[in-house]
Structure 1
C-alpha cells in the first residue's frame, strides 16, 4: 500500500516545520512625512549650496542633487520593517565604519568618509530613517555630518 502511509522522513520534516518560528510582522513606527518632513529650503540651507534641485521624491525617500548623479547630493530614505544593523554594516563594508550615535533619544549610527560624505541612520522600533550627504568632488560648503545630523534632528522632532 502506498500513498497514505507516512515514513520516518515525513515525521522529521513536520517536526522541523513545527519548530521554525514564523516571521514576526514589523510593528508600525511613526509617520515621517514626505522627505522626512523637511522642506527643500531647509535642505538647501543646511547643505549650504547655491542650488540643489529635487531629483525625485516619493512616500519613502527624496534625493536633492546638483550637477547630475556624480555631483553633490542629499538623500532621505525611510525604511519600514527593515533592520538598521544591515545598513550600518553596509556602511562599514564600503569604508565608512559606523559609530553609534543618539539623535533626540533614538539610537542610530553615523558613517563618514572624511569631509566629503556622511550618513546617519536613526532607529524607531522596527523602522529607521537614513540621511546621506555628499559633496562628491566639489569643496564642502558645510560639515557633511553636521548637515546630516541637523536634518535627522528635524525629521525626528517632526515624527508623528
Structure 2
C-alpha cells in the first residue's frame, strides 16, 4: 500500500501559490527585480510563522524593514532555523511553480539562477482563497525586498552575509 501524505501536498501547493503571489507583488514594486533562490527562502519563514506574520501584516508600506526589525526584534528569533525548516517546502513550491509554468528559471547556466514570473495567470479562485493574513504579509515583504539585493537583506535580517 502506498502512503500519501496530503499535508505535504497541500503545503507544497500553498507554498507554490504564495511564491507566485510574492513574484506578482515584487514586480508591481520593481519590474526589474527577479528573485533568486535565496530570496525565496526568506518568504515562508515570515509568512508561515504566526508571530512574524502578525508583526508585519498591518505595517504601513512606507515603514522600512529596519524599523520593523527594531520595533519587533522577535521576528528574527530562530530565523536561521525557520529558513532551514521551511527550505523543503520552498523548494517543492518552486518546483511546482516552474513545472506548472507560473514561474520560469533564467540564467540557469550561471552560478546564480534567477526566477521570473511568466505570463500565465494564477487562477482568480486560487488567488482569492489564499489566506488574507499571508497575502498582506507577502505584499509587505515584496515592498521591502523590491529595492534591496538579496545579500543586503540577509545581512539585515541575520546580521551577517549569505556566505558566512
Same fold (TM over 0.5): no
Q: Give TM-score, length-normalised by structure 1.
A: 0.28
Q: If you compute each CA radius of gyration, which structure gives the higher value, 1 or 2?
A: 1
Greater fraction of residues in helix: 2
Q: Give TM-score, length-normalised by structure 2.
A: 0.28
